[in-house]
Amino acid sequence: MSGSLTEGLPLYAECRGRPAGPDVQHVVLLHGYGAWSYTWRHWAPHLEARARVVYVDMKGFGRAPKPDDGRCSPHDLAHDVTELVTRLASDRVVLVGHSLGGAVALLTALRLTDEGRRDILEGLVLVASAAYPQRLPPFVAFARLRRLATEAIRWLGPERIVRQVLRTIVFDPASVTEEQVQAYAAPLHDPDARRALVDVALRIVPDDIHQVVARLPTIDVPTLALWGRHDRVVPLWVGRRLQQDLPDCELHVLERCGHDPPEELPEKSCAAVLDYLDSRTPSLRGSG
């Protein structure tokens, strides 16, 4: 981890892959709600071979700080990510966001535009990304019941809760492994992490979501929307609408896949991302 990148920021970031340089692409990975950068482990070696990869644990999750300050809305998370991205001192940045991380990536793109830094953003990859008003997933709706959710995690144990949630979001529940359960449950043994999980759930829908949606057509960044056809958390209609609303967006749909392509179909999902990076983003700078 580079201290200069994260100094004063309530997030965790770790850089791996190619050495930093003026022509080296930076791929910034933003996980989903309740997750952390463990999500990207299958993609890691492939991305690191072609880019400098920045693994981010957003505020309140994984190894990131968990201050009890109430500043944990998607806008707050995007504020931190925007600052991190500008500290990379690179004009070849690709934001990759899964679920909540996708919403944060979209908000970061808008912030960079507002701050006159749109030029550093070379691409977006939105993986089952939240974007529009929709029914809250059951596990998020449950987390908003602060006292009940906190007690349930404490008494039933994080592993039991995480195992059930993972099985409900994937296409094939039998594919969930004990390694995944242990990895995603580990942070939730910390009471601060459980409190942060509830705090984010309570603020997960931006107050100005309709204004944000109205601005999506201004995000003129080459974008890949990557979706599982059987996603029950952020349904495929969201990906299709993003394809319509974003000026330069291609939609790639994975069959027999639910809400977590990097976990469920790691090879196919990563291949789609690499193809996008190789075919779309190098043309902006004339080099790969």
Domain presence at residue 288? no
Domain presence at residue 44? yes
Cβ atoms 6, 88 nearer than 8 A? no
What is the predicted pLDDT for the residue at 152? 86
Domain presence at residue 179? no
Q: Tell me how far apart the alpha carbons of residues 32 and 27 are, in angstroms, rounded to a whole number.
A: 16
Task: Find the CATH number of the domain harbouring 227.
Answer: 3.40.50.1820
Domain presence at residue 260? yes
Q: Tell me how far apart the alpha carbons of residues 256 and 134 are, in angstroms, rounded to a whole number.
A: 22
How many domains is the chain built from? 1
What confidence category does residue 3 fall into, taking pLDDT thresholds of 50, 70 and 90? low
Domain presence at residue 169? no
Domain presence at residue 201? no
Domain presence at residue 124? yes
- Which pLDDT tens digit goes with each residue over 101-153? 999 999 999 999 999 999 999 999 999 999 999 999 998 998 898 888 888 88
Parent domain of 269: 3-134+206-282
Q: What are phi and psi of 252, to 5 degrees?
A: -120, 120
Domain presence at residue 181? no
- Which pLDDT tens digit goes with each residue over 239-262? 999 999 999 999 999 999 999 999
- Which pLDDT tens digit goes with each residue over 30-83? 999 999 999 999 999 999 999 999 999 999 999 999 999 999 999 999 999 999
What residues are paired with 243 via a beta bridge?
none
